[in-house]
Structures are given as structure tokens and as C-alpha cells.
Amino acid sequence: MDFSIKTFDAKNTLDGAKTGCIAVGVYENRKLTQAAQALDSKGAISAALKSGDISGKPGSTLLLRALDGAAATRVLLVGLGNEDTVSDKNFTQAAQATARAFATLGAADGLIALPLAAIKERDVAWAIRCVTLALRENAYRCDSQKSKKEATPEGVKKIAFALGGSTAAVATGARQALAQSVALANGIDLTKDLGNLPANICTPTYLANTAKKLAKDYKFGIEVLDRKQLQALKMGSFLSVTNGSEEPPKFIVLKHMGGKAKDAPTVLVGKGITFDSGGISLKPGAGMDEMKYDMCGAASVLGTFRAIGEMNLKLNLIGVIPTCENMPSGRATKPGDIVTSMSGQTIEVLNTDAEGRLVLCDALSYVERFKPAAVVDIATLTGACITALGHHNSGLFTRHDAAHDALADALLAAGRASGDTAWRMPIEDSYQEQLKSNFADIANIGGPAAGSITAACFLERFTKQYTWAHLDIAGTAWKSGTAKGATGRPVALLTTFLLQRAAG
């Protein structure tokens, strides 16, 4: 899709715009937006509302052809709900409905003339991002492994956003918002693509090669460590997970040093288990195919780097991805085995299906060398988080003090701003009691109670040297059932968080 911004004024009017389709908003109670009024000189739109052809409810649509008084070939009426309170939810429904309608049209180009500045507690930049992501989400396909690609209608490929009576500064801001929205959509698509690929294709080596391509395209620094280097670093916890697999592990380090040389970097750590069988603690067969999604934390880090690379963000950012498979074999780590982490702490592996924390803890020790300003790890870590929060919010965990509260608040705010929301969960010393081991410094599970919290408490033990937060995305990274597929979350949250940090 090709996106652009078009400005309209007294000379260059909306009703004179020659395009395949203009999308304008209508409200409930038969009220028109300003853009709809501009096209209603002959009363056709008012007549459609009066006749009940469109209700104005959020997401309702009506397509009008050859509208008298408009130069456009088609006019798409889109319901926005109540005029007094156009909520972000209602506008999102309208954006999604517009995307669906545009996908079915034979028009080559279209114009979005929805009221971008009229959403409650949101700005024009948010509205542009909302519509852009809805259009790209509707256009996304995952058919790279099909011998016959999915048949899709041509739809509208060139889309412009209409700005009426705007100053040059507003137009410049809108263009910047649009460029960032497209970059974000590209990052989300990469994350989806990686998540949706099968584990026999998306291996640790594949993730490493994807990182190398990003490094080449956007001039990132790149380093990929192999097994011998990991052994030299004494990453015994990470390597214990790799024992049962034929696929070689990789430890990926990406660097985007777009800020000042003296500025401490922000670090993202993504769990990259490209397939999780559970190891010796084997998972049930039903639904095990979805364990190809256990690398969505890694995929979200790569997608975020794709987005900020395109934006050329003025921030120092480092991405760390420990990636491997978790498989059963004669060499696999067994329940009851004790391994030594990079930090020197010993871990009793009571359940080999709690492998994500074993991989992440060594990565979290490794990042101390960067003297980071903040570290955020992202992982499909626990089914318990799905039980607690469902599929709407990612779980956010961090310590309770001023620095960590500030980091949590920034991440939560980025989630609200992007619609990619998270919910803060507790970390308290009382939960650490569940991780006690009779034979090692710590056990890798704490029993069924508060499973997502004890998993976060395990990670917290390896993060004492810096400000840290953990995002459990097990409930948000992918969908099951007929809608099975990666969601691209939490790339929007992470990218918005980084944009806000870069802005100071």
C-alpha cells in the first residue's frame, strides 16, 4: 500500500477531489461530520441517513456511487457513533470497517476524510496510526508456504489522508506520524511472519539470518554467538535447554546506536524458543503445533528493530535474543538436574517445560555489560498469565521502587497510547519462597499457585544490577482456533515506549 497526506482548503475543496473513493464519517441521530457535509450539497447523504440506509453506529458502512455534488467515483459513509464522544474504540471500529470496505473495491485510490482530530483524548497522529494499522492488518496474508496463494481482491492500493484547513506545521506532523505508522506496520508484519512460519523453517539459524539482514538494511551492529562462545561465557542454564535438539543455538545481539555516545542504552531481551516440545516434561499433543509461537518474544524484538530502523530513531537500543529449540532426546536435560547459570547461581530443573526462564536468565546476566538505562524482557513465558489476564493484556512485572515504578508507568502508558495494553502484576519477596530448592540455589518452578508471578520472581534474581521489567505475552502474542496466527504484539507497545524515551 502507498500512503500519503493531502491538504484541502477553500481553493482545493473536498467535493472536488477526484479519487476512486472518499471515506467520510456519519454520526448516529442522522448527523454528518464536516467532511460529509462538504459532499452533501445535493442532500444525497442526508437522504441516506433519513431513510435508515445507514444507522451511524460505530463500524456501519454504506457505499454510494456517482454521488451528485462530489467528483469522487464513490463515497463511503462510515458510522462513528455518538457525535459528542467519538471514543477511540468507536473510531477503531470505523477504521476497521473502512479497511474491509476498501479491500473490496475496484478503485485504484482512496481518500480517508474521517474526523481525525475529533477523537476523545486522542490526537491526529493517533488517528492516522489507527487507520494505517487497520488497513495493513486487513491486507496481511500468511500464505508463503502455500502452493497456491490465497485469492484476494485487488482493493484500494493508494490511500491518502485528508487534512482540512491545516497549517504547514500540522501537515508536517501528520506526514511524520504517517511515516512512523507505516514503519510500525512493517515491524508488526515482520513479527507476524516470523511467528507464523513453521519451526522446521524458522529455526535459531533463521532468526540469526533475519537479524543479519536487518543489520545490513539499517546499519545495525550485529553479533551472533554460537555454542562454543556460549560455553566460554558459562551460560550453563541456556545451554541446558539446547541439549536435546539437533539445531544449534544462537545468541543474537543487535545494536542501534542512534543516540548520543554517552547515553546508556535501552535493552530489549526476547525469548526465542523456536519450538517448545516441553523437553522431557513433554507437553500434550493437542495444540503442540502452536509451540512454534514460543519465539514471539524474539520476533517482537526483531519487529521493533525493523520499525525503529526505518524511523532512524535517535536512541541507543540493544536487542538480545537467546534462541534454541526445547526437544526431548537421550541428551536432553532431565527433571532433577542441576545447572549453573552465567551468574553462578545454581538451578534445580524441576520441570523442563519451564525452559524460557532458563534461557532468559543467562541473557539477563549478559546484558549487565552494557550498563543499560533500562532492560525489558519479552517472553511467551507462562500459561498462568493467560489464566490471570486472558488475551487482552500482556502481563507486566517489575520491582516496586521509584525507578521501577517509573519504568512500569512508561510501559503502561505506551500500551494505552498504542492500544497494545499491559497490566501490572505484583512481585514480592513472599513469592520467592516458592522457588526454594533443597539441592540448589533456586528451583525453576514454584508450583501451580501464582505461576506467572513466580516465573517473574525467578527472572528478577538475575536483574539486580539495573532497572528491569518483564512482559509476559503468552496470552497476546498469538490467536488460536480458526483465527490462528501471530498478532504482532507487543511491537506497537515497545515502539511507542521507545519513541517516548527518544522524545525525552
Taking only the tens place, the pLDDT of each residue in 124-161 is 999 999 999 999 999 999 888 888 877 776 799 999 99
pLDDT at 30 exceeding the cut of 90? no
Q: Determine the Cα–Cα distance for residues 111 and 113; give it in Å rounded to an integer.
A: 6
Q: Determine what percent of the chain is predicted with pLDDT higher than 90.
A: 93
Locus of grid cell 431513510: 51
Q: Determine the Cα–Cα distance for residues 129 and 118; give it in Å rounded to an integer.
A: 15
For the chain, the farthest-separated pair of C-alpha atoms sits apart, in whole angstroms, at 83
Give the pLDDT score at 476.
Answer: 98
Paired residues of 478 in beta bridges: 486
Give the pLDDT score at 11.
Answer: 83
Give the pLDDT score at 166.
Answer: 67
The stretch 384-406 carries a mean pLDDT of 97
Of 142-151, 167-176, 222-231, 440-449, which gets the smallest average pLDDT?
142-151
Q: From the centroid of its chain, how far is CA 2?
A: 22
Give the pLDDT score at 153.
Answer: 65
Locus of grid cell 491526529: 124
Give the pLDDT score at 314.
Answer: 97
How would DSSP label each residue in 399-420? -SSHHHHHHHHHHHHHHHHHT-
Closest CA to 274 of 191, 207, 188: 207
| Fold (topology level) of 188-503 | Aminopeptidase (3.40.630)
Grid cell at residue 120:
476523545
pLDDT band at 167 (very low <50, low <70, confident <90, very high): confident
3-state helix, strand, coil in the chain (%, to 5): 40, 20, 40
Contact 234, 339 (CB under 8 A): no
Q: Where are the alpha helices (DSSP H) in 367-450?
A: 383-389, 402-418, 429-432
Contact 273, 202 (CB under 8 A): no
Q: Determine the Cα–Cα distance for residues 301 and 310; give it in Å rounded to an integer.
A: 14
The stretch 219-246 carries a mean pLDDT of 98
3-state DSSP of 144-206: CCCCCCCCCCCCCCEEEEEEECCCHHHHHHHHHHHHHHHHHHHHHHHHHHHHHCCCCCCCHHH
Where b means 16+ CB within 10 Å and e means fewer, 341-360 reads bbbebbbbbbebbbbbbbbb
What residues does CATH 3.40.630.10 cover in the chain? 188-503
Q: Determine the angle formed by the axes of helices 204-218 and 296-311, rounding to 10 degrees.
A: 10
H-helix or E-strand spanning residue 269: strand 266-270
Q: Determine the Cα–Cα distance for residues 57 and 79; give it in Å rounded to an integer.
A: 5
Which of the residues are catalytic?
A: 283, 357
What residues does CATH 3.40.220.10 cover in the chain? 2-163
Contact 195, 296 (CB under 8 A): yes
More confident residue, 166 or 480: 480
pLDDT band at 9 (very low <50, low <70, confident <90, very high): confident
| Fold (topology level) of 2-163 | Leucine Aminopeptidase, subunit E; domain 1 (3.40.220)
What does pLDDT average to over the chain? 96
Q: Amino acid letter at 400? A: H
pLDDT at 10 exceeding the cut of 80? no
Q: What is the pLDDT of residues 33-53, one digit of tens each?
A: 999 999 999 999 999 999 999
The stretch 203-229 carries a mean pLDDT of 98
Return all residues near 488 (Cβ < 8 A) that are at least 6 apart. 187, 188, 189, 191, 192, 195, 300, 303
